[in-house]
Each structure stands twice: as C-alpha cells, then as structure tokens.
Amino acid sequence: MGVVAASEPYGPLWYLSIRGEVDFTTVEQVSAAVRTMLRVHQGPVAVDTADLVFGDCQLLGVFIGVAAQRPTALVAPPPSLVRLIEVTGAGKLLPSFPTLRQARAYLAAGA
C-alpha cells in the first residue's frame, strides 16, 4: 500500500491525499504524484494529511514546491507537521484548515 491515497481532480482544484509514514523511503511516491499533477492541472491544490502518521522535512519540501507553483492548502495536518511548518516559517505558503470544505472555500476565494 502506497502513501498516496488519492491524487485526482476535485472540482476546480486538485485533491491529493497522503497517508501513513512519509520519509526518505517513501517520499518519491508523493513527488511522482505531484509531478503528474503539475503536468495536468493548472489550478489550486488541497493536500489532505488527516491520515498522515509521520512526515519529515523532505515531505515538507515537496509541499513547499507545490505551493511555489500553485495556490495550496493543507487539510487536517497532524501536530508534528504543524510544528515542522511553524519551525520553518512555511505557514504563509501552506495555510492549514481542519476540513476539506474549508480548504476548498479558501482556495475558491482566490488564495
């Protein structure tokens, strides 16, 4: 079972769902999904991390890379990811929302 649970269009945005543990052994799965998404989708991105157990700085780097190219919002990030975002100062690039509905509304408003 991979760490990318979903990577698909969701209305005007792209929905990317990450689960489990993402570290140097699995981050390439996320990177591959992101490369595909960037080729086929020009709009905003919602990254659902509700089922993420662990994500290291490499995963954060992938998320920052997406946010540099598309409006991006995180959905339900676990406390460890929130802390990593705070420590690195990436919060302005990666706003977080408790639900997909809230992230979608933020992105639809022209994030």
What pLDDT is recorded for position 42?
95
Residue 110: pLDDT band (50, 70, 90) is confident
pTM of the predicted structure, to 2 decimals: 0.95
Q: How far is CA 91 from the centre of its chain?
A: 12
Mean of pLDDT values over 83-98: 95
- pLDDT, tens digit, 9 for 90 and up, residues 13-67: 999 999 999 999 999 999 999 999 999 999 999 999 999 999 999 999 999 999 9
- Residue ranges of domains in the chain: 4-108
Q: Is the pLDDT score of 74 beyond 90?
A: yes
Q: How far is CA 89 from the centre of its chain?
A: 16
- 71: Cβ contacts below 8 Å, ≥ 6 apart: 43, 44, 45, 107, 110, 111
What pLDDT is recorded for position 111?
65
Question: What does CATH list as the number for 4-108?
Answer: 3.30.750.24
